[in-house]
Amino acid sequence: MGINEKRVAHIFSHFVGPENSFFRDLCRGNVLTHENTHFREKKVRSKMGALLVKKTKKTKVLFISYEYTFGTFSGNGVLAASTVRGFLNDDSSDFDDDDDDAMTTEILVVCARPTELEEELRMEKEDEEEDKGVLSVPVPKSKWGRLDKTCAHEEFATNVSEKQLEAIVKFRADVVLGVDWSSLEVYERIRKRYQEEEEDGFSPPPPPLTYLNYRVFTLHDESHRALEQRMITASTHVICLCINDAKFLRDAFVGGDDGKEMVVAVVLHPPLREDVLRDAKNALAREKPSLVTSTTGAKKKRNALTCVVRLSKEKEPERFVELVEELAKRDAFGDTLVPILVAPATSEFAEGLKKRFREATKNIPNASELCIESFLNATQLGEIYSRTKLNVHPCRKDAYGMTVIEAAAFGAPSLVCSGGKVGSSELLMENQGVFSFDYENKSVEALADFITNIDENRLEEVAKIGRERALAYDETEYARLISKGMMIPKERGVETIRELAESYANALIAFSLDYESRESVTIMTRSRGKDDDGDDVNIISSSSAKTIELEGWIITADNPHSMNTGIGANAIAKKALEHELLDAFPRVQLGRSLTSEYDSDDPDEMKWIECGYFVPFIGYKTEESKMSVEQRVLEIGRNFGQNAVYFISRTSGEKAFKVTVVPCCANMDALRSTVEMVPRKIPSIRRQVVLDY
C-alpha cells in the first residue's frame, strides 16, 4: 500500500501496479530518524493529496566496504562504487518540480587497500584521501583478491588509524552502510570510539548499522554462519540483492537482540554501473539506424558465445568450458558462432580452465584472442557484449549475476540456470531477457543441442525485452531506495501499526474469478454494519453467485516492504508472482485483484492502488490441506516482501464477504483483523478505472 503520485488513468493504461510511496510510515509522516539527524521533517501534500515527509537538508552516510576502488577484483567493489556514486549523483527532490528543497547526501567511505607501503607513506595517503571522502585502510596484499573468511577482515579493522577514527567520529554520520560481514569489525571499532566519547559526555550515540548483503556466504560455506549472524544481530536493517537471498536469511538466521525475531530483508536489485549504462545507451543509439538494415542491406549479426564470470569454483565456469569442448567436437564454431572466455583470474583452478579452453579453440581463426586475461573496463566489456549472440551464465546459484544485466543492456540475452536461483533472473525472466536451462539435471550434450538449435528470431525478441528492462534502472534510483530504506524504524510504533492496520481493513477491494474478464468483477468495501441507503449492488453478473460458497486469497507483489519500487519494477514483480502462484497451485485458475484506499466522503480519491491476483479455493478436503495452502500463500507473500495478504470468504445465501487481513510475518501480527465487506455501487469514473485495471 503506497501513495500513488501518478495519474490513476496513466497507471491503469500500463496494466501494472502504481509508482507509489516508499514506506507506509514515511507516507503518513511518522518517520523515525537517528537522534543526530541532519533532516528537517515537514509534512507536505503530494499531488494526490497524501501526506509525505519532506527532507530538506543533507544526510550523512558512512559507507564501509572491504573492497571499493583499490584493486577491484569482484562485483562487490563494482557495486560498492556504484552505490556511492548513486548517493553523490542524487541531487533531485522526490517531490513536486516546484519544490525548493531537495534531499542530498554527504558520504564518507572507509575501505581496504592492498599495500606494501611504509607507515609514513600510508599516513600521507590518509591525508590525501580524507579530503576526497575516502579513508583507505592498508591490508596485506598477500590476502587480497578474496572475500571469504580468509580475507584480511581482521587487519581491515585493526589497521584503522586513530586519525581515521577521529575523522569518522567528527563526520557525525546519521547511518552506517556496511557491505557484508567483513565490515562489522570496523563498525564495532567505530561504535566503541563513540561510546568512549559518550562516557565523557561529548558524543551522541553511534549511528545505526544497515547491512548491505551483497553475498550470503553461508549459502556456500557453513563456516561463515557465525560471522553473518553477528552482522544481522548488530544491524537495524538488512538489504540484499534478490528474493532467494532474503528467503535464506529469513530461514537460516534470527534477528533482534534476543534472537527471537524473524529476519526481514529488503530486496533491492543492483543497478547498472554508470559507465556501463552510458556506453550501453550510446551503443543502442548507434545501432538504431541499422536494426532493420545496414547500408548494404544486410541485417546486423552477432556471433559470440560468451562467458563473463569470475573463474572461481562457486561460479562454476567449468560448465562453459565443457560446453565449448562439446561444441568443438561437433565442429560447431565458425563465422556464425565464436566462443569468448573473459578470464582475468590467475588461480590454479582458473589456469586449468583456461588451458582446456585454449585447447578446445585452437583451430578457430584468431584463437589467441578468444581467451581474454586482462581486467576489462566498461567500454571493453561493451565491445564484447555488442558482438555477443548469447551470454552463458554457468552457475546454478548466484546472489545476482550482474554480467547478465550488463549483457542485456548491450542487446545480448543470457542463458541462466532454471529454477530462479540466479538473482538477476528476477529482473530478466525467462523469454524476457534470459533463456533458462536445467544445469542441475541435464547433460552438457543437451546444453550443446540447446545452443545449436536456438531460433535466431527468438534470440532477437528476448534480447529486445531484456535490453529495455536493463536500461530502465540506474545507480541514482538504487541509492534513493537505499536512502529511504535506512529510514524504516526497526521497532514500528503502535500508532504506525494501528494506522497501517486501518488502511488494510478499510481498503476498497476488487477481484474477479476470471483473470481475462472485465465484466464479472466484484467491488466491495467495509460494510460498517449497514447498507448505504440501497446503493449496495452485487456486481457479479452470474445469478448463481449468491448460492455458492466462495473463498480465496488476494495477494500482490507491488511495493515490497512498502518501497517505492515504481511501475516497471512492480510489473516485473507481478509477472514473477504469477509464475510463483502457478507453480504452487497448478490446478487453480487465477483471477485478478486490486486494492485501493477508499473514503466514502471522497470516493473519487485514490491515494494508493495495488494490483495482484485472486487465488480462489472453493472448499477443502481437510483442515490440514486448508492450513497447508495458507502457509504456502503466506510464504509467497513473505518472499515478495508483503506485510499481509487478504483472505476472503462468503457462505451460501449471504451478501456480505468476510475479509481477513492475514500478516505474512509474526512480528506484524497487529495487522490482523476480520471485517465484513459488501459489494458497492461506486462513482462511475472510479468504477471504470477499477474495471479497466
Question: pLDDT tens-digit profile of 295-354?
Answer: 444 446 899 999 999 898 889 999 999 999 999 999 999 999 999 999 888 889 999 999
Position 47 scores a pLDDT of: 28
Q: Rounded to whole angstroms, how far apart are CA atoms 356 and 96? A: 58
Nearest to 510 by CA among 648, 357, 637, 367: 648
Q: Which of 363-367, 425-429, 559-563 has the highest mean pLDDT?
A: 363-367
Question: pLDDT tens-digit profile of 254-285?
Answer: 876 666 677 878 888 899 989 999 999 999 99
pLDDT confidence of 665, banded at 50, 70, 90? confident
List the beta strands (DSSP E) in 382-520: 388-392, 414-417, 434-437, 507-512
Q: Rounded to whole angstroms, how far apart are CA atoms 210 and 392? A: 34
Map grid coordinates 551503443 to a residue. Answer: 283
Domains 57-267 and 274-472 share a fold: yes
Q: Cα–chain-centroid distance for residue 538?
A: 40
Name the H helices within 172-235.
184-199, 225-234
Beta carbons of 236 and 490 less than 8 angstroms apart:
yes
- pLDDT, the chain, mean: 78
For CA atoms 95, 101, 102, 108, the dihedral sign is: negative
- Residue 603: strand, helix, or coil: coil
Domain boundaries, the chain: 57-267, 274-472, 494-691
User: Please, what CATH class does the domain formed by 57-267 belong to?
Assistant: alpha beta
Nearest to 482 by CA among 133, 184, 61: 61
What does the pLDDT average to over 5-32? 28
pLDDT confidence of 606, banded at 50, 70, 90? low
Level-2 CATH architecture, domain 274-472: 3-Layer(aba) Sandwich (3.40)
pLDDT confidence of 616, banded at 50, 70, 90? confident
The letter for the amino acid at 452 is T
Position 622 scores a pLDDT of: 64
- Residue 350: strand, helix, or coil: helix
Q: Are strands 371-372 and 550-556 parallel, antiparallel or unpaired?
A: unpaired
Radius of gyration of the CA atoms of the chain, in A: 27
Position 517 scores a pLDDT of: 57
> Would you give the DSSP letter of residue 588?
P
What does the pLDDT average to over 365-393? 93
Confidence (pTM):
0.70
For CA atoms 625, 626, 627, 632, the dihedral sign is: positive
What does the pLDDT average to over 620-625? 65
Question: pLDDT tens-digit profile of 208-244?
Answer: 999 999 999 998 899 999 999 999 999 988 999 888 8
